[in-house]
Chains A and B, each alone.
Chain A
Amino acid sequence: MTVAIHPNERAADGSVPAGPDVARPGSPGSVPAPVVRMPRHLLSAADLDRPTAEHVLGTALRIEQAMAGREVRKLPTLRGRTVVNLFFEDSTRTRISFEVAAKRLSADVINFSAKGSSVSKGESLKDTAWTLQAMGADAVVCRHSSSGAPQQLSAWVDGHVINAGDGTHEHPTQALLDAYTLRRHLGGLDGRRIVVVGDILHSRVARSNVLLLSTLGAQVTLVAPPTLLPVGVGSWPAQVSYDLDRSLVGADAVMMLRVQRERMSGGFFPTEREYSRSYGLDVRRRDLLAPHGIVLHPGPMNRGMEITPQVADGERSVIVEQVANGVTVRMAVLYLLLSGEADEISGRGV
């Protein structure tokens, strides 16, 4: 089993042909293979066109297969590389997921959290970037409460920047792990109907998922109270509805977003109870899905608010699997971003 990308497969412009996970031309003279263009940084799900997104997901699948059944769950691919987890905002699960992913690829991992660091003493983002630059970070995984901070960071460091969630903007690796999970259960996403429910206005998960899932051919329907939809949502590649029941009928999957309780004090909706009644997922609503339909949630959940425990823990829920897939997908992202400089990743010799 190999997921190698040989240097001689890399075109002059740095792009590489799509791996075997995407459709190859059937015979000489047919349509040329789609070209994979891995961006230098992963800041937005829009950075990935369809061949590249499918290449990332295909690489994740092969990593999962390569790891399966191993006693030592570690690949030597990124040995000697330094991955910095730069977290300006608390996020235990995302940080740990990236940390495990980097460590399974044998990278050195430095956790740089804003708490108790120079950042809380007023050091600017730019000075922090220069510090990382001086330390020679090969990749910087950045979580920040300000939209756009990872993009700004990418202008100040030489390493590859991965957006691990920025403000209310994007969270592209979450969308990748969601797409990975959906593909495992639904096969291809072409024409699949995915319903995303909740606080679309403030959700970086929603923004990245709308972009990535539509890139992959899915039909996305956003459901939320009108107060939690951004002005301008009409320009997104998604349909919008205020009616959850109707949207769920026959859908292939539903993704419930966390609704922060402070939104209520912001006046976005009157009470938790009213929100749950209109936009919460209970067993009755879940059963409106297609028979094969699945339930996703990026976590952490407000049980009883946007999702009932019966649904969260029920048979159609893939929420726990999402967490495991997060590690695999992040391994693929780290590998592909750094692979221009790293040795080939291979099942052999590990």
Chain B
Amino acid sequence: MPAVLIRGGAPYGEDRADLLLVGGLIVALGPAASADARAADAEIVDADGLVVLPGLVDLHTHLREPGREDAETVASGSAAAALGGYTAVFAMPNTDPTADTAGVVEQVYRLGREVGLVDVHPIGAVTVGRKGERLAELAAMATSAARVRIFSDDGDCVSDPLLMRRALEYVKAFDGIIAQHAQDPRLTQGAQMHEGIVSARLGMTGWPAVAEEAIIARDCLLTDHVRSRLHVCHLSTAGSVDVVAAAKKRGTTVTAEVTPHHLLLTDERAVGYDPVFKVNPPLRTSRDIHALRTALAAGVIDIVATDHAPHASQDKETEWDNASPGMLGLQTALSVVILTMLLPGLLDWRGVARVMSEAPARIGALSDQGRPLAVGEPANLAMIDPEARWTVSRAALASLSANTPFEGMELPGRVVATYLRGRATVAATALAGR
């Protein structure tokens, strides 16, 4: 692999500094980069005007393989991730078969390696078949080649409090973490959208905020009790922010994520009944959006995770209550964070790196991702044109599915290049070498 000299880019959007990449590592930074002997025959990459960040890490992706290769594959999802500036993604286990054994998680892990566009880290199911009845072989997944550390029944909540307690306790043996999809199933029977003024008008069964908040509160208390680690998936309400803030204040080892769509879109999008706006948890209110943005800026919410959820058209172009919940997110996440957090001044580029790369890598226990842009660190990079604006077109996205809620929206910031261990996966806004 030839050396790469990245010229003129601005790490973290601050002072310009060249980067020299050799052997998958950043070997020189600043004036030392072009002065280095190895720069003589390096490939020169012009990064003038670009912001350089550590490669993004998504803690919450649905790759649909195995089982629904018509909606997404590890290959197509990896391509979408790389184009979105990601160098690592965590794949949720709600596949068919469920990723609840060492065999399935190793299959997904191996597929990711073969594609080679991003590191694919499987998340293991907490319970067998995600049925919420008995624990899956968590230790077997942890000790497999996939080295699973995050476990989740995402799509469904581990609602049985005793089972949740056992899961939190059990994963301590291998430094695991339970990522909870917080949704009380009884309070959300038949739920279609956020319960509030809009659901009352549209005549749709409501998904009350309390159904999320009550589970998060319970799980924080359980986490305290057994001294384990909890991660809250796709936190979506102002009340959940309060619950997590209070827990963190008293020392609970809890982390939380917010999705880009919950930072931008409200339940008013359901007017018109287009199921592309159906998602679980549902789009909330502008008051919730304000609380989520504030909490992300303050660190109460630790990270942004996409909950990239591809669905085939026949599962979306149907009656709202028959449609599958979920939205594409990998290729739009960074732009939405720029729009909702960076431009309003809630986060700077360091902050963006923190919530989209460093903190998710730390939660997922990755040692080679989310690292500082410094000499000796892995050369996982995202290079962004902060001035570019682009219009989202579902047809132009790499995903096999088309269910983006941002169709037709003009968004700021464009990923120009992505480097995974010193090798370009994306160059000039397109997949490298294609």
Residues of A within 8 A of B (CB): 124-126, 144, 146-149, 151-152, 166-170, 204, 207, 230-233, 235-236
- B208 in contact (CB, < 8 A): yes
Q: Which of B192, B318, B319, B320 has the most CB of A within 10 A?
A: B319
Contact between B203 and A125, CB atoms less than 8 A apart: no
Contact between A232 and B197, CB atoms less than 8 A apart: yes
Contact between B318 and A125, CB atoms less than 8 A apart: yes
Docked complex Cα distance between A150 and B193 (Å): 18
Contact between A168 and B203, CB atoms less than 8 A apart: yes
Docked complex Cα distance between A231 and B208 (Å): 9
Contact between A235 and B319, CB atoms less than 8 A apart: no
Contact between B321 and A126, CB atoms less than 8 A apart: no
Contact between A230 and B319, CB atoms less than 8 A apart: no
- B196 in contact (CB, < 8 A): yes
Q: What are the 5 tightest A-B residue pairs by CB atom distance, in nearest-first order?
A: A148-B273, A169-B203, A232-B200, A146-B319, A230-B200
User: A147-B321, A235-B201 known; 18 other A-B pairs, CB under 8 Å?
Assistant: A124-B318, A125-B318, A126-B318, A146-B319, A147-B203, A147-B273, A148-B319, A151-B272, A152-B273, A167-B203, A168-B203, A170-B203, A231-B196, A231-B199, A231-B200, A231-B206, A232-B206, A235-B200
Q: Which residue of B lies closest to A147 (CB)?
A: B203
Contact between B203 and A166, CB atoms less than 8 A apart: yes
Inter-chain contacts of B393 with A (CB < 8 A): none
Which B residues between 186 and 215 are near A, CB-CB below 8 angstroms?
192, 195-206, 208
Inter-chain contacts of B192 with A (CB < 8 A): 147
Q: Which of B195, B197, B201, B208 has the most CB of A within 10 A?
A: B201
Q: How far is the CB of A30 from chain B (nearest CB, A)?
A: 36
Contact between A232 and B195, CB atoms less than 8 A apart: yes
- B317 in contact (CB, < 8 A): yes
Residues of B within 8 A of A (CB): 192, 195-206, 208, 272-274, 314, 317-322
Q: How far is the CB of A111 from chain B (nearest CB, A)?
A: 21
Inter-chain contacts of B200 with A (CB < 8 A): 230-233, 235-236
Q: Which of B198, B204, B319 contacts A144 (CB 8 A)?
A: B319
17 contacts between A and B (CB under 8 A): A125-B319, A144-B319, A147-B203, A147-B204, A148-B202, A148-B273, A149-B319, A151-B273, A168-B204, A168-B205, A230-B199, A230-B200, A230-B206, A231-B195, A231-B199, A231-B208, A236-B200
A124-B314, A151-B272, A207-B203 are contacts. A232–B319 as well, Cβ < 8 Å? no
Q: Which residue of B lies closest to A235 (CB)?
A: B197
Inter-chain contacts of B195 with A (CB < 8 A): 231-232
Q: How far is the CB of B323 from chain A (nearest CB, A)?
A: 10
Inter-chain contacts of A232 with B (CB < 8 A): 195-201, 206
Docked complex Cα distance between A34 and B222 (Å): 64
Inter-chain contacts of A147 with B (CB < 8 A): 192, 202-204, 273, 320-321
Inter-chain contacts of A126 with B (CB < 8 A): 317-318
Inter-chain contacts of A125 with B (CB < 8 A): 318-319
A231-B195, A231-B208 are contacts. A146–B201 as well, Cβ < 8 Å? no
Q: How far is the CB of B123 from chain A (nearest CB, A)?
A: 32
Docked complex Cα distance between A124 and B202 (Å): 22
Q: Which residue of B lies closest to A200 (CB)?
A: B200
Q: How far is the CB of A225 from chain B (nearest CB, A)?
A: 16
Q: Which residue of B lies closest to A167 (CB)?
A: B203
Q: Which residue of B lies closest to A202 (CB)?
A: B203
Q: How far is the CB of A198 from chain B (nearest CB, A)?
A: 15
Q: How far is the CB of A43 from chain B (nearest CB, A)?
A: 10
Contact between A146 and B321, CB atoms less than 8 A apart: yes
Docked complex Cα distance between A268 and B142 (Å): 46
Docked complex Cα distance between A213 and B236 (Å): 36
Docked complex Cα distance between A169 and B199 (Å): 9
Contact between A148 and B197, CB atoms less than 8 A apart: no
Inter-chain contacts of B322 with A (CB < 8 A): 146
Docked complex Cα distance between A236 and B202 (Å): 12
Inter-chain contacts of A231 with B (CB < 8 A): 195-196, 199-200, 206, 208
Docked complex Cα distance between A94 and B359 (Å): 58
Q: How far is the CB of A243 from chain B (nearest CB, A)?
A: 21
Contact between B202 and A169, CB atoms less than 8 A apart: yes
Q: How far is the CB of B277 from chain A (nearest CB, A)?
A: 11
Q: Which residue of B lies closest to A144 (CB)?
A: B319
Contact between A204 and B196, CB atoms less than 8 A apart: no
Q: Which residue of A lies closest to B320 (CB)?
A: A148
Docked complex Cα distance between A169 and B317 (Å): 19
Q: How far is the CB of A96 from chain B (nearest CB, A)?
A: 24
Docked complex Cα distance between A327 and B250 (Å): 66
Q: Which residue of B lies closest to A230 (CB)?
A: B200
Docked complex Cα distance between A170 and B202 (Å): 8
Docked complex Cα distance between A148 and B193 (Å): 13
